[in-house]
Amino acid sequence: MSCHRLSSRALQEFVNTFRLTRDLTVGPSTAKIFYTARNYLVGKIPGEMVFAVDKWPNYTAVMCASGEGTYKFMQDIETYTFYWENKDGLLKLLRDDKLVDWGKNFTIAAFAEKGLPVLNHVCSEMGKPVPQQDDLLQLYTGFLPNVLPATNRLPDCSVTLGRLGPEHAELVNRTWKWGGPPEVLEFIRYVLATFPSTCVYNKQGEPLAYTAQQPWGECGMSKALVPGRYGTFVAKSLINEVLKTVDLPYCFVEPSNEKARKIMDQELDPKWDPSGSCFYVSL
């Protein structure tokens, strides 16, 4: 029996029930799948997103894919995302060639480490090279469920707190780790026009630090442009802003970024994903 592609009505039912029956703070893709589906349904993600499950309505695995009309940057780095509760459900989705185009290069986002043996097995079945170390970007998932203190007081009296707008897209494209290409600039402009962000400005109106939420709910478009505590302040401010909407902020951190992990542990009161690390897998 083939997998089940969700209609708009079924996707709405999925969004209405998923958070009530699953713990968003367990697994790197749990919150990600939920917020992608929710934001797509309300029109915040343009183009076509494909959502499918191993079976309906009693699913154990979910896939979302960036389809036609979505931003090219999303198609490149967020081609597929998988959530699964057992390997049989994951296997069924991966093997469905109507859902996964094994003839093309693609990226699987936030793929839990425990799923790599299954992915390697299916790659071999499909004639795709098994991902090597250079194809894997390892990340840890930090959830930020707690309101953080002192965000009502600015770091100093010479700065102001605001948000970013599309007019700041070129600055973000120059300074964000993943910025640079024109397709990323296009994506950033869309993100800044659509999703929450916070930014500290000096008296001249120049950004000192910023952070923005991504379409899949991650608070991950961040940069401190000058030394000081401005980066931590904007992160706290965005976390509290997102929590006011009853959403769950989260972020991905590379193991090599010891500074970011230290700041998170000391300042942001994270809950680290108990299931371990995940990977962005390039195939």
> What's the pLDDT at 228?
82
- pTM summary value: 0.95
pLDDT lower than 50: segments of the chain:
none
Pick the CATH number of 160-247 from 3.30.565.10, 3.30.70.60, 3.40.630.30, 1.10.600.10: 3.40.630.30
pLDDT of residue 69: 86
Q: Which is nearest to 198 in space by CA: 207, 210, 187, 184? A: 210
Q: Which two tokens stand for residue 154?
A: 């600015």
127 torsion bin: left (phi>0), alpha (psi -120 to 50), beta (else): left
CA angle 118, 55, 215 (to 5 degrees): 75
* pLDDT digit string, tens, across residues 162-180: 999 999 999 999 999 999 8
pLDDT of amino acid 156? 77
pLDDT at site 4 = 96
Cα separation, 104 vs 97, whole angstroms = 11
Tell me the C-alpha to C-alpha distance, in Å, between residue 192 and each of 35, 171, 215.
Answer: 17, 12, 10
